[in-house]
Amino acid sequence: MTDHLDVLVDPAPLDLHAFIASLPKAELHVHHVGSASPRIVAELAARHPDTKVPTDPEALVDFFTFTDFARFIDVYLSVVDLIRTPEDVRLLTYEVARDLARQQVRYAELTITPFSSTRRGIDERAFMDAIEDARKAAEAEFGTVLRWCFDIPGEAGLESAEETVRLATDERLRPEGLVSFGLGGPEIGVPRPQFKPYFDRAIAAGLRSVPHAGETTGPQTVWDALTHLRAERIGHGTSSAQDDRLLAHLAEHRIALEVCPTSNIATRAVRTLDEHPIKEFVKAGVLVTVNSDDPPMFGTDLNNEYAVAARLLELDERGVAELAKNAVDASFLDEAGKSRIRDEIDTYTAAWLAP
Q: Which residues in this chain contact ligand LNDFFVEH in the complex, by CB under 6 A?
A: 31, 34, 73, 76-77, 80, 111, 113, 116, 119, 151, 153, 155-156, 184-185, 212, 215, 263, 293-294
Least distance (Å) between residue 322 CB and ligand LNDFFVEH: 25
Closest CB 19 distance from ligand LNDFFVEH, rounded Å: 27
Could you confirm whether 43 is annotated as catalytic?
no
Q: Quick one: 24 or 153, whose CB is closer to ligand LNDFFVEH?
A: 153
Can residue 10 be called a binding residue for Zn ion (CB under 5 A)?
A: no
Could you say which of 224, 293, 301, 305 contacts Zn ion (CB under 5 A)? 293
- Identity of the residue, 232 or 293, whose beta carbon is nearer to Zn ion in the bound complex: 293
Instruction: Answer for the pair 28, 259: CB distance below 8 angstroms, yes or no.
Output: no
Question: 163, 187, 215, 305: which is the annotated catalytic residue?
Answer: 215
Q: Which is nearer to Zn ion, 24 or 295 (CB)?
A: 295
Binding mask 236-275 for Zn ion (x = CB under 5 A): ----------------------------------------
Query: To 10 degrees, what angle do helices 196-204 and 158-169 make?
Result: 0
Q: Least distance in Å: CB of 318 to Zn ion?
A: 29
Q: Which amino acid is at 256?
A: A
Distance CA 268, CA 150 (A): 25
Q: Which of the choices Zn ion, ligand LNDFFVEH, none does residue 173 contact, using the CB cut-off of 5 to 8 A by kind?
A: none
187 is a site residue for Zn ion (CB under 5 A): no
Alpha helices (runs of H) in the chain, residue ranges in sequence order: 2-8, 14-22, 38-47, 57-63, 69-80, 86-102, 114-118, 124-142, 158-169, 196-204, 219-227, 244-252, 261-266, 278-283, 302-313, 317-330, 335-353
Min dist. Cβ of residue 235 to ligand LNDFFVEH (A): 7
Question: 107: exposed, middle or buried (C-beta count within 10 Å: 0-12, 13-18, 19+)?
Answer: buried
Which of 106, 90, 82 has its CA nearest to residue 22? 106
Q: Is 109 in the site for Zn ion (CB under 5 A)?
A: no
**Cβ count within 10 A of residue 151:** 27
Question: Which residues are marked as active site?
Answer: 215
